Structure 1
Amino acid sequence: MSDRGTERAGRPSRAPHGARAWRNAVFAVFFLSGLSMASWVARIPAVRDFTDLSTQGVGLVILSMSIGSIVGLVVAPLVLARWGTRIGETAMLGTVSVGLVLIGLGGSVVPSVPLVVIGLVLFGFGNGAVDVMMNVDGAMAEKEIGKTLMPLMHAFFSFGTVAGAGLAVVASAIDLAVIWHLGAVAVLIAVAVGIAVRFVPRDSSDSVAQQRADASAPRRPWRERVRESLSVWADPGLLLIGAIMLSMSFAEGSANDWIALAAVDGHGYDQTTGAMVFTVFTISMTVARVLGGPVLDRFGRVAVLRVLSATGVVGLGLFIFGTEPWMIVIGTALWAVGCSLGFPVGMSAAADHPHRSAARVSAVAIIGYCAFLAGPPLLGFLGEHYGLLNALLVLMGLMVVAGLLAPAAREHSRRLG
């Protein structure tokens, strides 16, 4: 039997109906989170015009969402320990829905920057918290089924952003007020998550089989579960997994915010070309995540992470130093592929542990999402002083770090073998 077959031995070869329903519910939560994010981002110009905000003002308003997101990331483990993912995901996406409605009211009914800010704080808080929860939920479902699914789950987030952007284009084309657009999305999210979470186990921090075995056992006090959740931060191996995620998430998040501008300001292309470059990045990222699961199951995490690290370095090199359009396009695609699986692989690696899987996933999710939030502003600061293309050299270094640390993500069964 091959190494991959050995490491999968003893795990389900076919997902039972309940586990498949759980998996599909997680797909839905990822999709809804992506839908909410794209819906807001696509209507920023309309909100800006209605509230008469300056460019700097828009930046400060968006900062309120980032602050809310950071608080959500910190609070998520506490909510998980107290109520579990089913209630947590429902409450947090409900908070996102309320935030969207307030943004719509302040951005298209009564011009009110404070109301938009309050809405964005709630929106950011809900999405920050649900980001942790859905990754915990997804990692546990993946572990139950016995197949690598996290890359596909993150692809569903991308599908959600595409759907959100498409709906926003239609709303803008028919001159639909922001309140009606975001209000409709808010209702859709609130209803859909209420339906989806019915298929999530009561507390998906444990596997379905373990929950059945412990059904008659009293649940531990939530304060004890919080202490357990915090204790995983002392695990050096887990922090190395977090470092892999931080490195690749930094490269991914920075691309989302800066790649179009780097194409325009750094290479001298027009804005349309810059948008096309960003499109190449998003499509390449989504395709890589759709295909990533079977590749990981075939070759293992360490080998795939090393290849992706090298791919990302080559792609960034072509993008930074390339002088021809084809070099920029190929570099962009390779950059996207290189950082595409860092976050989902980190989730799977954190969950691949006999004890405290949910707490471990929650911890590395916080590390990864902090990179998404802090990375782009730091790159902007470096770009201001050294040029945006030169600032991207930091990403090359981080991709090298991710490749060197790849053994930290090795499958648990391979470590034992």
Structure 2
Amino acid sequence: MRSQRVSVFTVFIVFVLNGVIAGSWAPRIPTLAGKIHAEPGVLGIVLLGASVGLTVAASFAGRLCARLGAPAIVFASAVSAACALPVLALVTTPLQLGLVLVWIGASFGVFDVSMNVAAVTVIRRVERPLMPVFHAGFSFGGLAGSLGAAFAAGQGVGLLPYFAVVTVASLAVTVGVIRFVPREEPATGAQERGGPDRRMLRRPVLWLLGSIAFVSAIVEGSNGDWSALFAVRERGMSEGTGALVFSVFSVAMAVVRLLGERIQRRFGPFGILVTGSLFAGIGLLTAAIVPVAWLTYAGYAMAGGGVGLVFPIVLDLAGAVSRRSDGSGGEREIGFVTSIAYSGFLIGPPVIGGVAQLTNLSFAVGFIGVVAMLIVPASLASAAARRREEPSAGDPDRHATTFRAGLSVPAED
């Protein structure tokens, strides 16, 4: 029991660490842009480097975890992400910044997948739906990192000493917790041959889960990039109060994730996906249609709360899709779904920008709300696909799994 509590706490700290590192560099982009004299158009292209690295690296991270084990990949990727930060302070051209951002994005792509694989291992051992709670750790870590970056910028702390402090602290935490990260035996031999990538690509349930994660990423990424601008230009808020709109969205997401275990036990994974996406869509449509400031905040709070559980639950479901008879497996499936999700972060904000250019920001926000509701049919279809894929009791090559009280546990034969 004590070892299980240690494993849960350790994985939670790993998620917090990921959020802290991620939240520490993004708020310093204005300082970096000024240092390299990047115009907004050039900066927008340069920033795509992080998304490209994220998406590409996530596509093969699951295979690394299956072969080497999650703890080794968590350690390597966390060290890589932390060590990339001081290099940011040394760039002098947009090209250099873009290349470092590819490095950072690739590090986080592997880090994200490996920590989620470790989380699935813990969830299976303790038989509790803790994935949303772990993702709450990431949300609060990101908030702490961004507040630290804002404080450093306000105090005039230089980029290099600031990033150096974050790096040293991150490396210390990584070294301190890595031995407690749970590890499943790497897949070998027949286990690895039992789930080739080609076969995985032919499974509709994985594509459907990936599409849900993709839509969730579009909603999250678009709100991060456009919510403050919408509040200022369409609702007449000041820049300070407009920035709070995304803060409301983020805090609502974090709080709901923190309560995710209780919610998932009550409503089950697919019920949450359907209900949450409806809440998110209604919230964004309300913010877009009703020109009242407090309803803008309320709408974004509904959106954050509604979409907050989608990504962690989808990863939990993806990990259960190919669970082997010994209770292990699912690493590559998590990587596959994650890579699809990150492509939503890559293409979502530019698409929304194009919609806003052709119409206006209010229409674009409403458009995001409609997109959020696409999770409803995708969730219903994925639930049906999962039921169709469940093998019969006599199938020796597959292991049936079902969801009881929101948990992925072995089905009884």
Task: Report the equivalent of 1:272.
Answer: 240
How many Å separate the matches in 1 of 2:313 and 2:305?
13
Distance 1:26 1:264, change over 3 A: same
In the TM superposition, residue 114 of structure 1 has moved relative to its aligned partner by: 4.2
Aligned 8 A contact 1:310 1:403 in 2: yes
Candidates 363, 376, 380, aligned match of 2:336: 363
* Deviation by residue 1:150-175 (Cα, 9 ceiling, x = unmatched): 11111111111121122213322332
Find the aligned partners of 2:247 and 2:189 in 1 and give their Cα distance: 48
Q: Are residues 1:394 and 2:367 paired?
A: yes
- 1:327 offset after TM fit, Å? 1.5
Q: 1:352 aligns with which of 312, 320, 329?
A: 320
Deviation, structure 1 residue 270? 2.4
| Structure 2 unmatched runs, 5+ | 387-400
The equivalent of 2:179 in structure 1 is 198
Give the distance between the partners of 2:266 and 2:203, measured in 1 at CA.
Answer: 28
Equivalent in 31, 45, 49 of residue 16 of structure 2: 31
In structure 2, the partner of 1:9 is: none
- Is the 8 Å Cα contact of residues 140 and 351 (structure 1) preserved in structure 2? no
2:259 partner SS: helix
Taking the TM superposition and a 5 Å limit, the aligned residue runs for 1:204-243 are: 219-220=188-189, 224=192, 228-229=196-197, 231-243=199-211
Q: Which one of 72, 89, 92 corresponds to residue 74 of structure 2?
A: 89
1:292 aligns with 2:265: no
Distance 2:185 2:215 in 1: 28
SS in 1 for 2:150: helix
State yes or no: 1:189 paired with 2:162.
no
Say whether the 8 Å CA contact 2:121–2:184 is kept in structure 1.
no
Q: Distance in 1 between matches of 2:336 and 2:193?
A: 14
Aligned to 2:394: none
Give me the whole-angstrom Cα distance separating, in 2, the residues matched to 1:74 and 1:360: 10
**C-alpha distance in 2, partners of 1:112/1:309?**
41
Residue equivalent to 1:403: 376
Matched, 1:146 2:127: yes
- State the SS of the aligned residue for 2:90: helix
Instruction: Could you list the structure 1 runs, at least 4 aligned residues long, displaced by more than 6 angstroms after superposition.
Output: none
Counterpart of 1:331 in structure 2: which amino acid? Answer: G
Question: Aligned match of 2:294 in 305, 317, 326?
Answer: 326
TM-score, normalised to structure 1's length?
0.85
Alpha-carbon separation, structure 1, partners of 2:246 and 2:357: 21
Tell me if the contact between 1:253 and 1:375 (Cα under 8 Å) persists in the aligned partners.
yes
What RMSD, in angstroms, separates the aligned Cα atoms of the two structures?
A: 2.4
Tell me which of 376, 391, 412 is aligned to 2:402: 412
1:315, distance to aligned residue in structure 2 (A): 0.5
Which residue of 29, 37, 43 maps to 1:58? 43
- TM-score, normalization: structure 2? 0.86
Contact 1:136–1:361 at 8 Å: present in 2 too? yes
Specify the SS of the correspondent of 1:352.
Answer: helix
Distance 2:87 2:153 in 1: 19
1:44 maps to 2:29:
yes
Question: How far 1:344 moved relative to its partner?
Answer: 0.7
CA distance in 2, matches of 1:63, 1:314: 30
Shift of residue 322, structure 1, vs aligned partner: 1.0
Q: Secondary structure at the match of 1:232?
A: helix
Distance 1:58 1:225, change over 3 A: farther
Q: Is the 8 A contact 2:23 2:146 kept in 1?
A: yes
- Structure 1: any 5+ residue segments left out of the alignment? 1-15, 207-218
Q: Distance in 1 between matches of 2:263 and 2:344?
A: 26
Aligned to 1:257: 225
Contact kept, 8 Å, 2:61 with 2:332, in 1: the verdict is no
For residues 74 and 68 of structure 1, the distance between their equivalents in structure 2, rounded to whole angstroms, comes to 10
> What is the deviation of 1:286?
0.9
The equivalent of 1:12 in structure 2 is none
Q: How far has the Cα of 1:324 moved from its partner?
A: 1.3
Q: State how far apart, in whole Å, the 2-side matches of 1:294 and 1:35 are.
A: 26
Q: How many residues align?
A: 385
SS at match of 1:412: strand
Matched residue type, 1:197: I
Distance 2:153 2:368 in 1: 35
Task: Find the partner of 1:315 among 283, 289, 297.
Answer: 283
- Counterpart residue identity of residue 68, structure 1: G
Please give the alpha-carbon distance, in whole angstroms, between the structure 2 residues aligned to 1:54 and 1:221: 54
Cα distance between partner residues in 2 of 1:151 and 1:255: 20
Return the alpha-carbon distance in structure 2 between the equivalents of residues 204 and 252 of structure 1: 34
Question: Does residue 170 of structure 1 match 2:151?
Answer: yes
Q: Would the aligned equivalents of 2:59 and 2:336 in 1 still touch at CA under 8 Å?
A: no
Secondary structure of 1:175 counterpart:
coil
Alignment of 1:66-85 (within 5 A): 66-85=51-70
2:140 maps to 1:159: yes
Taking the aligned partners of 1:371 and 1:113, their CA distance within structure 2 comes to 24
- The answer to whether the Cα contact below 8 Å between 1:350 and 1:360 also exists between their aligned partners in 2 is yes
